[in-house]
Structure 1
Amino acid sequence: MSGNLKNRYLLVLKSLSKVEIKNQLGFGRIAKGAFYLYISTLITSVLGYVFWFIVSKLTSPNIVGLASTAVTIATIAHAFTMLGIPTGIQRFLGKAYAKNDTNILKSYFTTGFTILTLTSGFFACILIFLSGWLANFTGLPVTLLIVAGLLTFTSSIYPIFYALFISTLQTKLIMYVNLSASISRLTVGILLILAGLGALGIMLGYLTLSIISLAAYLILTLKFIGPPKPNFNLKRGVELFKAGSVNWLPAIISILGLQLGVLVVYGFHGAFQAGLYFIAYAIAGIVLAIPSSLFGVMFPVLSGMEDGREKASWKATKLTLTIVVPIALALTVYSKNILSFFGPNYIDAWLPLTILLIAVAPFAMVQGVNILAYASGLYSLVLILGVSISLPRTLLYIVLTPLFGGVGAAEAFLAGTITGLVCMVYIGKKIGAILDGYSLALIFLPPSIIGVILYLVDVWWIVGVPLILAVSLFIYTRLKIMDKKDVEEVARSFLSEKMFKVGVEKFSWIIRILYGE
C-alpha cells in the first residue's frame, strides 16, 4: 500500500476527530471520495438508463417485465447471501487503515472474502437447482433463472472489494470499475437483444457487468494489498457477522419488500405495470444514490474517529439535503416530462415516481443518524432503526401492491421511510445526534415554494428545472446553509492550488452573487 495514501487517510481522520472539525482539507477529501462514489453510481445508473431506454425501444414492456422479474429474483438471493458483511466490515477496515495496520486489514478482508465466496456459491447452487420449480411458480423461462443463479454468485462476491476501496477512500477506482462494467453490460446486452435473445439477452448483459466488476476488483486488489487468499479467522468472522447482522436483517426485510414490489406488480398486474414501476424506481434511485454515496464514505471514517462524530454526521447530513431536496423537487414537478423520454407508454409511471421522490429527503436524514449509531458500535439501535423502516414497508407492499400496482408499491416505500424517520428522531436524541430544526426548515422551504409556483404557472421544464436548482442554491448560500468555507474546502480537494486561485479570480463575481461578499 502506498505510504502517501495512508498519510492522506490519516489526515482525514485526524482532522475530523477534532470537535470543531477545523482542518478544512479533511472534509474536502471526504467530499471528494463521496463525489467519485456518486459518479460511479451515476455511471451505472445513467448507462443503465441508456440500456433500459434502448431495451424499451427494441422490445416490449412484456420483455422488460420478464427480465426485471428475473433480476429481482437474483437480487433477493443476493441479499440473503451477503449476511450484511460488506457493510459491517467497513467499520473494521476503516479502523485498521487509520491505524496503518496492514495485517489486521488483510485479516478482516480475507475472512470476509472467504465467507462470501462460500455463501454465494451455496445460494447460487440452490437457485439453479430449484430453477425448474421456480419456472412453474413464476412463469419465467428456466434459462432466465439459471442465469439469475450465476448472477447471484458473481454479484455477491465483488461487494467485499467495493467495501475495501470505500474504507480506504479509493473511490476513484470504483468509478473506473463501474464505467468499464456498465459499458460491457450495454454492449453485450444490446447485441444479444438484436440477435433475438430478448429477456435472456438482458440477463446476460447483467451477468457480464457482474463478471467484469469481479475481475477488475481482483486485479486492483492484487496491486493494493496482495492476493485475497482464502482464510477464515473465527474471531474476525464472529465480529463481522455481529456487525453485519444488524444491517443484514433489515436489509433482507427491505429487499424482500422492495423487490416484492416488482414481483407482486408482475403477478397481479402483469409485465407492463412491472416495467413501469421498475423504470420509476430506477429514476428515483439516481437521487437516492446521493445520500448513499456520501454516507457510504462517511461511515468508515466516522468509525475511526475518537470524538466529534455528531458534528461530522450533521455536517454531512446538511450538505446532502442541500443537494437532494432541490433535485427531488425539480424531478417531482416535471416527472411526466422525464418519463416521456422513455416513450409515451411510460408517462403513466409519473405518480409512482413522484411518491418515491418524496421519500428521498427523509431517507437522507435517516441515513445520517444510522451511520452515526453504526460507527459508534450501537448495533442494537441500528437494528431497531433498520427494522422500523423495512418491516412496515414490506407489510404494506404485500397489502397495497395487489390493490394499486406500482402506485401501491411506491406508497409502501414512502410509508416505511416515514416510520424510519419517526424512529430516527427518538434514536437521534438518545445518541446525541444533531438535528437542527431551523436549518432543516430553511433547506426544505425554498425549493418547495418555488416548485409549487412553477407547477401552478406551468413553466416549461427546460426553464423550470434549472430555475429550481439555481434559486435554491442562491438562497442556501445567502442564508449560510451552504457555508463558503465548505465550498472552498471541497474545491481545493479537487483542484491544484494554482487552479483554485485562477478559478477564484475568474469566477469571483459568482461568489459575490451567491454570498454577497
Structure 2
Amino acid sequence: MKESNKQLGRGTIYIYIESVAAMIFGYIFWIILSRIGTIEIIGTFSAIVSLAGIFSVIASFGIPEGNQRFLGKFFYQQKLSDAKIFVKSSLVLVCAGIILCTLLILILSDWIYTVFTFDFRLIVALIMLIASYTIFLLFHSIVISSLRTKILPTTMVASWIVRIVLASLMISVGVGVVGVAIAYTFGYIISCLILGIAIIMILKYANHSRSEASLSSATKDVSVSSLASWIPDLIMTIGIQLGTVVVFGTYGSNEAGLYFISLIIVTGISSVVHSIFTIALPALSSMIDGRKKFAWHTIRLSTIISLPFTSSLIFYSKDILQLIGQDYIEGSLSLQILLLSMLPTAVQSGIGSLVYSYGHYRKFLVIGLGASIPRVALYFLLVPIYGSTGASLAYTIGAIIGFAVSIVIAKRIGMLIFWKDLLLIFFIPMTLALVLSYLHVNYILAIIATIIGSNVLFFKLQILTSADIKYSLEILPERISSRISMLLTRYSRK
C-alpha cells in the first residue's frame, strides 16, 4: 500500500508541474502574440478558443473523466487487455462526438457568420481546433489513469513551443487569425502524437493476456459512467467560456480581447490550483476515514499557494497588463475583479472534490449549477451595459454564489470550515500587497515580497506548519525531500 501511494504521488506531481508549465508558456505565448499581432486578432481568436472549449466538452461526452474509473483499476491490476478495449471504446465514442459536433457547426454556419462574422475559413479552423483538443483531452486522461505521467510536462512544453513558433511565423507572413488558430491547433496535434505513442507503449503487452471485456460492453459502461461528469463539466465550461463569446458578439473583437487576456491570466492560475485538487481526488476517493479533514487541508494549502500571488496582481494589474501591451491596460479593472474570484473558487473546488469522492453526484451538480447559472444569466444582463467589466462581474459573482452553495453543502455533510484561518489567508497577503502598492514598490519586488512575507506570517501564526510542508514533500524524491525537511526542522527549533 505504501509503495502504491508513492507511485500515486510520483505520478500526480507531474500533473502539477504540467499545469505550472502550461501557465508559464501560455503567458509567454499571449505576450508574444499581443506584441506582434493586433488586439483585433486577439479578440477574434479568443472567441474561436472559447467556442472550441464549449464544443469540445460537448464532443467528448464526458469520456475523458468517465473512462478513468475503469482504466485506473485495469492499469493498477495490470489488466492491459481490458484497458486496451476500454481505450478503443473511448476513442470510438469521442470520434463520434467530434463528427456530430462538426455536422452541427456546419448546419449552424450561417448563424455563426451572422453573429460572429466567422467566414468559412474560420469555421474550418474552429472544427480543427475542436477535434484536436477533444482527442487531446482523451489521450491526456488515459495517461493520467496509467499514472505514467512523467511525459506530461515535456508534452506540454513541446506543444507550447510549437504554438509560439508557428503563430509568430503565421502573423509575420500576414495570415492573421486563421494562421494563429492553425498554429494553436498544431500544438494539440503534437501533444496527441506524443501521448498517442506513450499510450501505445503502455499497452504494447496487452495482447499477452485475455480480455474479459468486449467492445460493446466497454462502450456501454464508459457511456453510463461518463454522463455523471459530462453535464457538470459542460455547465462549468459554459460558465467560464461564454463570457468571451457574449462580449465578442456584443462589442466586437477589441473588447473581447481585453476580457480574454484578463481571463487567461486568472484561469492559468486557477488551473494550477485545480491540479492540486486533481492530485487530491484519488487520495480522497481511496480514504475510509479523514476525508473531510484532508479536503480542508487541501483547500488551505491551495489558497496559501495562490492568494499571495493573486493579491499582488490585484494591486499591480496595470503593470502586469502592460507587459502584454499598452492596448490592454484599460482591461485592468476586469483583471482585478476576476482575481477576486480565486478564494471562492478554491473553496468551491475543494468541497466539490470531497462531495465527488463520496459519490454524491447530485450535490456535485448543485455546486456547479450554483456557480454557472447565475454567471451565464449575468453575462447577458451585465455585458451589454458594462462590456468586459460586466463579464468580469458576472464571472466573480457566479464564483461567490457557487462558494455560498458549497458552504451550505459542506455544512450538511458535516465538514468544518476554519473561518479564522481562511480569513487570515485572504487578508494577510491583501494587506501586504496594498501597503507595497501604496509605497510604490516595483511590481516584481512587490510580488516576491508579498509571497515571501505572507508565507512567513502564515508559518508564524501556525496557519502553515512544518508538518504541512513535510506532508507535501513526501511525493518528491527522497534525497530532495529529506534535505528540505532537515532545513525546516532547524528553522522550527530557532
Q: Normalized against structure 2, the TM-score is what?
A: 0.91
Once the two structures are superposed, residues 5-40 of structure 1 have per-residue CA deviations (whole angstroms, 9 ceiling, x without a partner) of xx77x631xxxxxxxxxxxx68xx63x655432332
Once the two structures are superposed, residues 45-74 of structure 1 have per-residue CA deviations (whole angstroms, 9 ceiling, x without a partner) of 332222222222222111211222222222
The aligned amino acid for 1:308 is G
Q: State the distance in 1 between where 2:72 and 2:380 align.
A: 38
Shift, 1:292, TM fit: 0.9
Pick closer, same or farther for the CA change 1:124–1:241 going to 2, 3 Å.
same
* Residue among 117, 132, 138 paired with 2:95: 117
Q: State the distance in 1 between where 2:305 and 2:364 align.
A: 25
Aligned counterparts, 1:131-280, within 5 A: 131-226=109-204, 233=215, 236-280=218-262
Aligned counterparts, 1:223-372, within 5 A: 223-226=201-204, 233=215, 236-372=218-354
* Residue among 19, 24, 32 paired with 1:54: 32
Q: State the distance in 2 between where 1:44 and 1:260 align.
A: 22
The aligned amino acid for 1:416 is G
Secondary structure at the aligned position of 1:171 is classed as coil
* Residue among 63, 67, 70 paired with 1:89: 67
Q: State the distance in 1 between where 2:483 and 2:24 align.
A: 32
- Deviating more after overlay: 233-242 vs 206-215: 233-242
Q: State the distance in 1 between where 2:14 and 2:49 align.
A: 26
* Residue among 453, 458, 462 paired with 1:476: 458
Q: What residue in structure 1 maps to residue 210 of structure 2?
A: none
Secondary structure at the aligned position of 1:412 is classed as helix
Once the two structures are superposed, residues 311-337 of structure 1 have per-residue CA deviations (whole angstroms, 9 ceiling, x without a partner) of 322222221111011111111111111
Q: What residue in structure 1 maps to residue 473 of structure 2?
A: 491
The aligned amino acid for 1:217 is L
Q: State the distance in 1 between where 2:404 and 2:79 align.
A: 39
Shift, 1:243, TM fit: 4.1
Shift, 1:44, TM fit: 2.6
Q: What residue in structure 1 maps to residue 372 of structure 2?
A: 390
Q: What residue in structure 2 maps to residue 19 of structure 1?
A: none
Shift, 1:138, TM fit: 1.8
The aligned amino acid for 2:389 is V
Q: State the distance in 2 between where 1:142 and 1:222 align.
A: 36
Q: Which runs of 5+ in 2 are unaligned?
A: 208-212
**Is the contact made by 2:143 and 2:195 (CA closer than 8 Å) also made in structure 1?**
no
**Is the contact made by 2:80 and 2:206 (CA closer than 8 Å) also made in structure 1?**
no
Q: State the distance in 2 between where 1:162 and 1:232 align.
A: 23
Q: Within the alignment, does 1:416 sit opposite 2:406 as a pair?
A: no
Q: What residue in structure 2 maps to residue 442 of structure 1?
A: 424
**Is the contact made by 1:333 and 1:451 (CA closer than 8 Å) also made in structure 2?**
yes
| Residues matched between the structures, number | 489
Q: State the distance in 2 between where 1:227 and 1:71 align.
A: 38
* Residue among 429, 432, 455 paired with 2:437: 455
The aligned amino acid for 1:61 is I
The aligned amino acid for 1:124 is T
Q: State the distance in 1 between where 2:146 and 2:344 align.
A: 28
**Is the contact made by 1:331 and 1:338 (CA closer than 8 Å) also made in structure 2?**
yes
**RMSD after superposition:** 2.6
The aligned amino acid for 2:246 is V
Q: State the distance in 2 between where 1:419 and 1:234 align.
A: 42
Q: State the distance in 1 between where 2:307 and 2:358 align.
A: 28
Pick closer, same or farther for the CA change 1:365–1:92 going to 2, 3 Å.
farther
Q: State the distance in 2 between where 1:389 and 1:246 align.
A: 18
Q: What residue in structure 1 maps to residue 42 of structure 2?
A: 64
Q: Within the alignment, does 1:126 sit opposite 2:104 as a pair?
A: yes
**Is the contact made by 2:315 and 2:437 (CA closer than 8 Å) also made in structure 1?**
yes
Secondary structure at the aligned position of 2:150 is classed as helix
Q: Normalized against structure 1, the TM-score is what?
A: 0.87
Q: Within the alignment, does 1:43 sit opposite 2:21 as a pair?
A: yes
Q: State the distance in 1 between where 2:327 and 2:493 align.
A: 47
Q: State the distance in 1 between where 2:360 and 2:89 align.
A: 23
Once the two structures are superposed, residues 417-447 of structure 1 have per-residue CA deviations (whole angstroms, 9 ceiling, x without a partner) of 1111111112112333342223323322321
Shift, 1:150, TM fit: 1.6
Once the two structures are superposed, residues 456-492 of structure 1 have per-residue CA deviations (whole angstroms, 9 ceiling, x without a partner) of 3333323221111111111122223222133234335
Q: State the distance in 1 between where 2:353 and 2:220 align.
A: 21
The aligned amino acid for 1:304 is S
- Deviating more after overlay: 86-95 vs 346-355: 86-95
Q: State the distance in 2 between where 1:173 and 1:395 align.
A: 40
Pick closer, same or farther for the CA change 1:213–1:136 going to 2, 3 Å.
same
Q: State the distance in 2 between where 1:281 and 1:126 align.
A: 27
**Is the contact made by 2:15 and 2:153 (CA closer than 8 Å) also made in structure 1?**
yes
**Is the contact made by 1:77 and 1:152 (CA closer than 8 Å) also made in structure 2?**
yes
Q: State the distance in 2 between where 1:260 and 1:228 align.
A: 42
**Is the contact made by 1:265 and 1:401 (CA closer than 8 Å) also made in structure 2?**
yes
- Deviating more after overlay: 362-371 vs 125-134: 125-134
The aligned amino acid for 1:211 is I
